[in-house]
Amino acid sequence: MAAEKFIIQGGRPLKGEVRASGSKNSALPIIAATILADGPCSLGDVPRLADVDVLAKIMQTLGVSIEREATGRISTRVVNPDQSFAPYELVSMMRASFCVLGPLLARRGYAKVSLPGGCAFGSRPVDLHLKGLRALGAEIEIEHGYVIARAKKLRGANIYLGGPAGSSVLGTGNVMMAASLAEGQTVIEHAACEPEVVDLANFLNAMGASIEGAGSHRIHIKGVRTLEGCSHDVIPDRIEAATLLMAGAITGGEVVVNNIAPIHLEAVFDKFREARMGFTRNCKVAGVSPNGRLKEVEIATLPYPGFPTDLQAQMMAMMCLANGASVFTDGIYPDRLNHVAELQRMGARILRVNETCVVIGVEKLQGAPVMASDLRAGAALVMAGLAAEGETEVRRIYHIDRGYENFEAKLVSLGADIRRAPDESAEKPPAV
Ligand code: EPU
């Protein structure tokens, strides 16, 4: 597909109501989990995203038929359980696809899955995934960039999954999926408590698994013999919802986002209040409204329920226009700062010392050609472009298409002047 860019005419306050899609980071491991099912699964609110398409391709190579029905639901069914090879060409496009390892091992006893490699904002190891699966009795070798995992029978175990940056979201998911079909009881200590882990546990339980404690740091799993197909609706995307609210706020607009679970965004809403943003919320809706220039904040990203790393770039874009100096550190991915240089090109004043950024708010940003380096950095640049004076071109928007469903259509529905155009200047997209 030809490369594309967004062309944005900034300076229009966004106004209106918009719906958050289903969560990307819930949908991906849940789709991988359907490998475990003996019957068909039906999934609602799976967003239409490039990342979902990549995983669908991997599922097909693993013998799972996967289709989007006319209703919009995704249906899956295992048609050929003999295929347990996930190649580098696909896994390297999206790290979340490493989540097929646990289900393949548990259901088929064998898996050969490519190591995903690094990504745009750091090395992102998978040692915790492998530690957990080994503890369940898997024999794991690394050969020529591939993980080769074997297990005649997985057995429940006590597994500590804490790493240097806390727990691992997909690592917890991978081990939880494998342990669901292991013999006996598993306890995962220092489990990730993200809402997406809870959604995956709810899906597995709907299939017949016996999982308790998801959402806390200790998860108990009683292994069962089989898992059946089931029907499940994915939770709303908390990161997309907050991005849309921040897009409203950075333009001084009035935006309401529905289909959200505000309880998943407490840390973010706390910072909204600290920044003195006009802000309201109720059980499934949140809204922002103009309240003058925002006040500076201090952001240190943390595992859930802390401030999410996946909103660090967007929050930074917003603080570029605040009244005061904000401080940012990303405790999960200290190098996730590729957006800084691009925001600077738009007139932002950001001082970076090692892993800390001090953002000194300016009164105006200026439109400029900029380049998205990852999904969230891309969203932050679009936000900055919506608020900036003049025209902004955001290149490499294939990053944004990976994780925001109908991003520009949603922004246009709120009154933004943003359009997609071919990007003749683009080089071939690197694998991400
Ligand atoms: N880590 C290890 N060892 C591991 C795994 C992770 O040390 O085996 C470290 C990482 O290097 C990082 C920290 O643990 O410092 C957390 O990484 P985690 O494993 O939780 O990340 P992930 O599960 O691979 C998911 C999301 C990311 C999100 C992170 C953190 C999905 C598909 N991806 O990744 O989402 O940033 O959790 O919340 O769920 C995004 O949507 O833009 C995105 C990158």
pLDDT tens figures, 187-242: 999 999 999 999 999 999 999 999 999 999 999 999 999 999 999 999 999 999 99
In this prediction, residues 113-128 reach a mean pLDDT of 84
Distance CA 404, CA 66 (A): 21
Find out whether the beta carbon of 169 lies less than 6 Å from any atom of ligand 1: yes
Beta-strand runs (E) in 49-198:
64-68, 74-78, 85-86, 110-114, 139-143, 146-150, 158-160, 185-189
Which token pair is 115?
Answer: 């190591």
Residue 362 one-letter amino acid: V
The strand pair at 231-233 and 41-44 is best described as parallel
Q: Whole-model pTM?
A: 0.97
Digit-coded pLDDT (tens) for 87-106: 999 999 999 999 999 999 99
In this prediction, residues 48-72 reach a mean pLDDT of 96
| Nearest alpha-carbon partner for 200 in 185, 221, 183 | 221
Going by pLDDT thresholds of 50, 70 and 90, the confidence category of residue 429 is low
Distance CA 411, CA 407 (A): 6
Distance CA 424, CA 46 (A): 32
Residue 400 confidence (pLDDT) above 70: yes
Distance CA 392, CA 120 (A): 22
What is the predicted pLDDT for the residue at 120? 78
Q: Please report which residue ranges of 68-149 form alpha helices under DSSP H.
A: 88-91, 101-108, 127-135
| Centroid of ligand 1 to alpha carbon of 405 (angstroms) | 21
What is the predicted pLDDT for the residue at 422? 95
Distance CA 322, CA 300 (A): 17
Distance CA 288, CA 257 (A): 9
Distance CA 100, CA 177 (A): 9
Count of CB atoms within 10 A of residue 276's CB?
15
Digit-coded pLDDT (tens) for 265-283: 999 999 999 999 999 999 8
- Pocket residue to mutate for ligand 1, from 46, 91, 168, most atoms within 8 A of Cβ: 168
Tokens 């639901």 appear where? 73
Q: Is the peptide bond before 164 cis (omega within 30 degrees of 0)?
A: no
Residues 53, 204, 100, 379: what is their CA dihedral angle, to the nearest 10 degrees? 40
In this prediction, residues 326-340 reach a mean pLDDT of 95
Residue 36 confidence (pLDDT) above 90: yes
Atom 24 (ligand 1): residue with closest C-alpha?
Answer: 170
* Contacts of 370 by beta carbon, 8 Å cutoff, 6+ apart: 342, 345, 346, 381, 384, 385, 392, 393, 394, 395
Residue 126 confidence (pLDDT) above 60: yes
Distance CA 266, CA 270 (A): 6
| Centroid of ligand 1 to alpha carbon of 83 (angstroms) | 27
Going by pLDDT thresholds of 50, 70 and 90, the confidence category of residue 432 is low
Domains and CATH numbers, the chain: 4-21+236-422 (3.65.10.10), 24-233 (3.65.10.10)
Residue 431 confidence (pLDDT) above 80: no
Count of CB atoms within 10 A of residue 9's CB?
17
- What atom in ligand 1 is closest to the CA of residue 126? 8
Which token pair is 70?
Answer: 């006319």
Sheet with 356-360, side-by-side order of all strands: 298-301, 325-330, 356-360, 349-353
Q: Is 119 a catalytic residue?
A: yes
Which token pair is 237?
Answer: 């995307």
Tokens 């660090």 appear where? 312
Which token pair is 390?
Answer: 């003049």
Percent of the chain with pLDDT over 70: 98
- Pocket residue to mutate for ligand 1, from 170, 304, 402, most atoms within 8 A of Cβ: 170
Q: What is the CA radius of gyration of the chain?
A: 21
Length of the chain: 432
